[in-house]
């Protein structure tokens, strides 16, 4: 079905370009667009490797944020995890110490070119920094085979002295199910939901214990809340590395969900060198407070992209709108 999506006039959008503190998922610079709609500021930031069709839900989410009010909140603060990139142990410790009091850490593992031993040292360092009562989850971004996943999850569970869950160990839903049957650690699905034709397949296949949901790839708050209702799995709301404008929408989603048993992956403005707002939405004592007003970005001049990058995004926005 062809759903027309309205886009703002070119002159009204801000294109930003912000370096990452460490390489994350192959990304060293985060780019995206911000504009103000009748309901408030919004963010559109599909990853650079996404084509126009894959970016269409991201635009629906951005248009919704610009035009619709947020749903009613049922909580006033969201527990969040800190996110540890595939970095050296001493820097991983630093991420935990400077996380704003997060009691849960998500650690990236299975980075191409790195070894299981490096993953184990990183996870052990995070445990040391977090203390025995914190929760540790790992995210392999689909980089393991079934056999590798079983071996790695078993070793990481030991190194972490207990894992909360392992996120997207393998690419296919069948492989997730196979790994889930063979390890004593919960399995979370991320790419299998946000990049899937059928987001419910993981649940039907009994391939995951936890569903990671991301606002932009799933097409906005209303669309994500429908999936949340029907998927029948505990949910973790996670970011797509937005600036505080986009994180605000994900916080609104997390605030509106009836059940939220795990910390959410929304403390990611820390991974960026700068932000759209001088007061970032970031954890204090492990929680991000749910704002009562929509965030107004006050740091736009500092993050504005060069003309070439701006032009590339305007072209991209036109292509995605034409979907
Ligand atoms: O969940 C988190 O802690 C932060 C968000 C995150 O990891 C992420 C951010 C951008 C793209 C992919 C991912 C991911 O979960 O794989
Ligand atoms: Mg993930």
- Tens digit of pLDDT for each residue in 35-45? 999 999 999 99
Tokens of 54: 């894959």
Q: What's the 260 CA to ligand 1 centre distance in angstroms? A: 18
* Closest alpha carbon to 281 in 156, 273, 270: 270
Interval 225-230 mean pLDDT:
95
Please identify which of the residues 108, 158, 270, 293 carries the catalytic annotation.
108
Compute, in angstroms, the gap from residue 66 CA to the centroid of ligand 2.
26
Instruction: Name the pLDDT band for 8 (thresholds 50, 70, 90).
Output: confident
Indicate whether 165 and 56 sit together in one domain. Answer: no
Residue 3 located in a structural domain = no
**pLDDT value at position 5?**
60
C-alpha dihedral, 251 to 252 to 253 to 256, nearest 10°: 120
Q: Is 167 annotated for ligand binding?
A: yes
Per-residue model confidence as pLDDT tens digits over 189-218: 999 998 888 999 999 999 999 999 999 999
- Determine the pLDDT at residue 40: 97
Q: Where are the alpha helices (DSSP H) in 214-283?
A: 221-231, 244-256
Mutate to test the pocket of ligand 1, among 265, 266, 267 (most ligand atoms within 8 A of CB): 265
- Per the annotation, the verdict on 158 as an active-site residue is no
Stretch among 14-28, 70-84, 117-131 having the lowest mean pLDDT: 14-28
Ligand 1, residues at Cβ distance < 6 Å: 25, 81, 83, 106, 139, 141, 190, 238-241, 265, 268
Active-site annotation holds for 214 = yes
Going from the Cα of 14 to the center of ligand 2, the distance in angstroms, rounded, reads 28
Residue nearest to atom 2 of ligand 1 (CA): 265
The predicted model gives 79-85 an average pLDDT of 97
28: CA distance to ligand 2 center in Å? 17
One domain for residues 168 and 108: yes
* Residue 152 domain boundaries: 77-289
Are 41 and 108 part of one and the same domain? Answer: no
Residues 118 and 164 in one domain: yes
Q: How many angstroms separate the CA atoms of 46 and 244, rounded? A: 16
- Nearest Cα to Cα of residue 108 among 235, 251, 265: 265
Same domain? For 168 and 215 the reply is yes
Q: Which ligand approaches the C-alpha of residue 238 most closely? A: 1
CB under 8 Å to 314, separation ≥6 — which residues?
10, 13, 15
Predicted pLDDT at 203: 96
Residue 294 within any structural domain of the chain: no
Poorest-confidence range of 95-104, 119-128, 191-200, 309-318?
191-200
DSSP string, 132-172: TTSEEEEE-TT---HHHHHHHHHHHHHHTTS-SEEE--SSS
pLDDT at 196: 85
The answer to whether residue 1 scores a pLDDT higher than 50 is: no
| Residue 51 and residue 32 share a domain | yes
| Whether 140 contacts 169, CB under 8 Å | yes
Dist CA 230 CA 209 (whole Å): 14
Instruction: Confirm whether 118 is domain-assigned.
Output: yes
Mean pLDDT of the chain: 96
Q: Which ligand is nearest to the CA of 166?
A: 2
Mean pLDDT in residue range 58-64: 97
pTM over 0.90: yes
Domain count within the chain = 2
pLDDT of residue 6: 75
Domain membership of residue 1 (yes or no) is no
Q: What percent of the chain has pLDDT over 90?
A: 93
Q: Do the interacting molecules here have an ipTM over 0.90?
A: yes
Q: Which two tokens stand for residue 76?
A: 């006033």
- 252-307 pLDDT per residue, tens: 999 999 999 999 999 999 999 999 999 999 999 999 999 999 999 999 999 999 99
Euclidean distance between the first and final Cα of the chain, in Å?
A: 10
Residue 94 forms part of a structural domain: yes
Q: What is the pLDDT of residue 2?
A: 46
pLDDT surpassing 80 at residue 4: no
């Amino acid at each position: 079905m062809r759903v027309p999506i309205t886009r703002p006039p070119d002159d009204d959008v801000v294109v930003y370009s912000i370096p990452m503190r460490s390489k994350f998922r192959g990304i060293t610079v985060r780019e995206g667009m911000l504009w103000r709609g009748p309901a408030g500021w919004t963010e559109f930031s599909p990853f650079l490797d996404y084509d126009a069709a894959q970016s269409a839900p991201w635009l629906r989410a951005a248009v919704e944020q610009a035009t619709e009010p947020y749903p009613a909140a049922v909580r006033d603060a969201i527990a969040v995890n800190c996110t540890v990139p595939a970095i050296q142990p001493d820097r991983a410790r630093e991420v935990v110490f400077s996380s704003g009091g997060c009691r849960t850490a998500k650690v990236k593992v299975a980075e191409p070119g790195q070894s299981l031993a490096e993953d184990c040292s990183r996870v052990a360092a995070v445990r040391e920094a977090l203390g025995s009562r914190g929760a540790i989850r790992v995210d392999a971004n689909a980089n393991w085979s079934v056999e590798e996943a079983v071996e790695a999850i078993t070793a990481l569970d030991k190194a972490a002295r207990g894992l909360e869950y392992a996120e997207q160990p393998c690419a296919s839903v069948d492989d997730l199910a196979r790994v889930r049957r063979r390890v004593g650690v919960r399995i979370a699905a991320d790419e299998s939901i946000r990049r899937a034709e059928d987001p419910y397949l993981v649940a039907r296949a009994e391939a995951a214990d936890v569903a990671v949901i991301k606002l932009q790839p799933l097409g906005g708050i209303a669309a994500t809340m429908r999936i949340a209702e029907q998927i029948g799995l505990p949910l973790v709301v996670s970011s797509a590395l937005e600036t505080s404008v986009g994180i605000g929408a994900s916080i609104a989603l997390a605030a509106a969900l009836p059940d939220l048993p795990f910390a959410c992956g929304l403390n990611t403005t820390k991974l960026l060198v700068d932000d759209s707002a001088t007061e970032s939405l970031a954890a204090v004592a492990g929680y991000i407070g749910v704002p009562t007003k929509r965030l107004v970005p006050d740091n736009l001049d500092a993050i504005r992209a060069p003309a070439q990058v701006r032009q590339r995004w305007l072209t991209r926005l036109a292509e995605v709108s034409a979907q």
